[in-house]
Amino acid sequence: MAVANKKIVFLTGAGMSAESGISTFRDAGGLWEQYPVMQVASHTGWLQDPELVTRFYNERRKQLFDTKPCDGHKLVAGLEQNYDVVVITQNVDDLHERAGSTNVIHLHGELRKVCSSRDVENPACWQVLDRNNWEVEPGTKAADGSLLRPYIVFFEEAVPMIVPAAQQVGEADVLVIIGTSLNVYPAAGLVNYVREGVPVYLIDPKEVSVPIDLNITHIQAGATEGMERLINIIGI
């Protein structure tokens, strides 16, 4: 009988994509220093000025098509050869998928997708944009006649993928947290679902305050070097 592979669950944030050239949010010079977060990334902000929000995410999407996965993303994907790997990401980019990861849960939405503003989860209204068609003209309508909006979980909105994500963390044999300040809930609360005794690795060049007391090894490095060190520790 085949023996099931160990399950490694990754929880990633903006620092995972920093080496691909995408700004983090809360580091010095980060995105939320340049843009008022509640204007461009909240439900209220969307209702008040959908044009500003549409243009903000157009810019992010355009930049995404000029970036590539970093070696850190590729090392995460490469572990699928020997482990059952689940990536839970707060990132709205598709760099994990482009690096080859096949099991990715996006907690905060997907930049390449746009949707109905009446019913975000109605797949009939989803559109996936690409390199040659990245821009949404403000005022464009979705198939149901509502304004087309970015498929992004705005602040003040529910996070539907938190339930499957929590289940995956609860089944993890190893949890690896990469490049997140753990400032934003409910994503940060996922660490509460780790089973007792499960090793937790945290890859981040800075100290990160983790909300509960866990069996944590901090690998103080960027995503790529951190992944190389992790692989040396756990073995491929």
Q: What are the catalytic residues?
A: 108
For position 44 contacting ligand OAD by CB under 6 A, the verdict is: no
- Torsion from C-alpha of 24, 169, 198, 82, nearest 10 degrees: -90
Q: Of the ranges 130-138, 139-147, 163-171, 201-209, which one interacts with ligand OAD (CB under 6 A)?
A: 201-209
Considering only 86, 149, 180, 190, the residue that binds ligand OAD (CB under 6 A) is 180
Considering only 6, 26, 55, 229, the residue that binds ligand OAD (CB under 6 A) is 26
**DSSP alpha helix (H) spans, the chain:** 14-18, 31-34, 37-40, 43-48, 50-64, 71-78, 95-99, 162-170, 223-234
For position 15 contacting ligand OAD by CB under 6 A, the verdict is: yes
Build a one-symbol-per-residue string for 112-141: x at contacts with ligand OAD by CB under 6 A, - elsewhere. Answer: ------------------------------
Q: Is the peptide bond before 164 cis (omega within 30 degrees of 0)?
A: no
* Joined tokens for residue 17: 């994509």
Q: Report the alpha-carbon distance of residue 69 to residue 60 in Å, rounded.
A: 16
Are 136 and 148 within 8 A, CB to CB? yes
CB nearer ligand OAD, residue 144 or residue 193: 193
* Joined tokens for residue 81: 């050869």
Find the binding residues for ligand OAD in span 146-175 (CB under 6 A): 153
Which spans of this chain sit near ligand OAD (rule: CB under 6 A)?
A: 13-15, 18-19, 24-27, 30, 41, 90, 108, 153, 178-181, 183-184, 203-206, 208, 222-223
